[in-house]
Amino acid sequence: MKVLVMNGSPREKSMTRNLTNTITDQLDEKGIEVLTFDAGFHDLPLFKGRKEDLNHPEVLRLVNHATKADAFVICSPEYHNGMSGALKNALDFLGGSHFKHKPTVLASVGGGGKGGINALNNMRTVMRGLYALVLPDQFCADPTCFDDKGYMIDDKAKERLTVVVEEFVSLTKTIEHDVEVK
Ligand SMILES: Cc1cc2nc3c(=O)[nH]c(=O)nc-3n(C[C@H](O)[C@H](O)[C@H](O)COP(=O)(O)O)c2cc1C
C-alpha cells in the first residue's frame, strides 16, 4: 500500500508539517510506504492550465506520486476559513482519475480554539469534486498540540489521531483486498 501524504502549508516553519510528520511516523510504524508532497518544499508553478507546466519537475513529481498512490492523507492549515491557496493550487494540477476509488483522510491545523473546521469543510467539498473516497472521520489540531521541536505533545490529540489513522488504514486495506478479489 502506498499513501501520498500532503502538507498544504507553504510556510517554512509549518505546524501542518508537524502534523504530516506525526502521521507519517504512524504509517511508517505500520510498514506502509509513504510518498510526500509538501507545499513548503515542492514549489509548484501557479496553475494556469498551460501544457508546458505539465513538464515542470515538481508538477511531474506530484502527478507521478498521485498516480502511484492507493490512498491520500491531505493536511492543510486553515487560512481565512478555508484550505491554503497552495494546497488548492496543487489539487488543481490533479484530477478525478488520481482520486477515484481511493480512500482519503482529511486533517487540518487552525489557529486555536475552534479553528480548523472550516478548512476541513472546504477540503471535503473540493475532494468531492475530485471523486475521492473521503472518510467521514477527520482530524483537527491546534498549534498547542506540538512542542518547539514539532512533536505532538497533546495526549488526547495523539489518541484521536491514532483512531483516525487506523480507520483510514483499515478502509484502504479493505478496498485493496476487494479489488484483488475481483
Ligand atoms: C493567512 C493566514 C490566515 C489564517 N486564517 C485563520 C483562520 O481563518 N482560522 C484559524 O483558525 N486560523 C487561521 N490562521 C492561523 C493558522 O491556521 C495557524 O497559524 C496554523 O498553525 C498555520 O499552519 P502552518 O503553520 O502549517 O501554516 C491563519 C494564518 C494565516 C497565516
Q: What is the pLDDT of residues 17-51, one digit of tens each?
A: 999 999 999 999 999 999 999 999 999 999 999 99
**CATH architecture observed for domain 2-181:** 3-Layer(aba) Sandwich (3.40)
Alpha-carbon separation of residue 10 from 29, 30, 115, 154 (angstroms): 27, 28, 18, 24
CB 176 within 8 A of CB 1: yes
Establish whether residue 84 lines the binding site of ligand 1, counting it when its CB lies within 6 angstroms of any ligand atom.
no
Q: Report pLDDT for 176.
A: 85
Q: Which of 81, 131, 83, 71 is nearest to 107 (CA)?
A: 83
Alpha-carbon separation of residue 72 from 56, 61, 147, 163 (angstroms): 22, 15, 26, 16
Q: Report pLDDT for 32.
A: 97
| Distance separating alpha carbons of residues 143 and 17, to the nearest angstrom | 11
Q: What is the pLDDT of residues 1-16, one digit of tens each?
A: 999 999 999 999 999 9
Establish whether residue 111 lines the binding site of ligand 1, counting it when its CB lies within 6 angstroms of any ligand atom.
yes
Establish whether residue 78 lines the binding site of ligand 1, counting it when its CB lies within 6 angstroms of any ligand atom.
yes
Q: What is the pLDDT of residues 70-79, one digit of tens each?
A: 999 999 999 9
Establish whether residue 40 lines the binding site of ligand 1, counting it when its CB lies within 6 angstroms of any ligand atom.
no
Q: What is the pLDDT of residues 152-175, one digit of tens each?
A: 999 999 999 999 999 999 999 998
In angstroms, what is the span from residue 9 Cα to ligand 1's centroid?
9
User: What are the sequence ranges of the domains in the chain?
Assistant: 2-181
